[in-house]
Amino acid sequence: MNTHNWTRMLRHALLALSLALGGLGLAQAANPSMLKDFNFDKPTFIHDLPFAQYKLVLQIDDDNPALWNLALNNAQNVLDYFGQEKVRIIIVAFGPGLKMFLKDSPVGDRIAAQNAEGIEFDACHNTMEAMAKKIGHMPVLVPEAVIVPAGVVRIMQLEKAGFAYIRP
């Protein structure tokens, strides 16, 4: 077997292992994950906000930093209006929008700051797997990102639970 074939075979094996571990929620150990315990009829959350009367989910599906900043501005405005204890805000990214949550995201500092204020950032695992096939490994996310099985399913779950839906 020549070096080229060996390298190619090794690369495919590593990708398969990465995807398999990602499917188990192990490849992204630094990120919280809902892959194992996701229950459509019973949403769970990272932040404990027992007095949240208002609920908002924002959808990000575009690779557009201006749009990402708009969504973060919307989230901050809602948080400032209602107060941290009275509103639960979740930003869900999938498709090209998942780039918002990548480790080198231009809005990473804002994500960290807003997460500290109780805003949750949910990343689509289906998109992560599709990206892994293209780049050869699971994408590395900002530590604040929570991995959910599917971004659209998470949005549907949250709407069913009474969340207002906004797509900036």
pLDDT band at 30 (very low <50, low <70, confident <90, very high): confident
CATH topology of domain 3-166: Hypothetical Protein Ychn; Chain: A, (3.40.1260)
CA distance 137 to 106: 21
The average pLDDT across 117-124 equals 98
* Number of neighbours of residue 69 by Cβ within 10 angstroms: 15
Residue extents of the structural domains in the chain: 3-166
The average pLDDT across 132-141 equals 97
pLDDT of residue 108: 98
The average pLDDT across 65-81 equals 99
Q: What is the pTM of this model?
A: 0.82
Mean pLDDT, the chain, whole residue set: 88
Q: Return the minimum-mean-pLDDT range out of 7-21, 85-99, 154-168.
A: 7-21
**Helical axes 108-116 vs 65-82, angle rounded to 10°:** 20
* Number of neighbours of residue 28 by Cβ within 10 angstroms: 21
3-state secondary structure of 106: coil
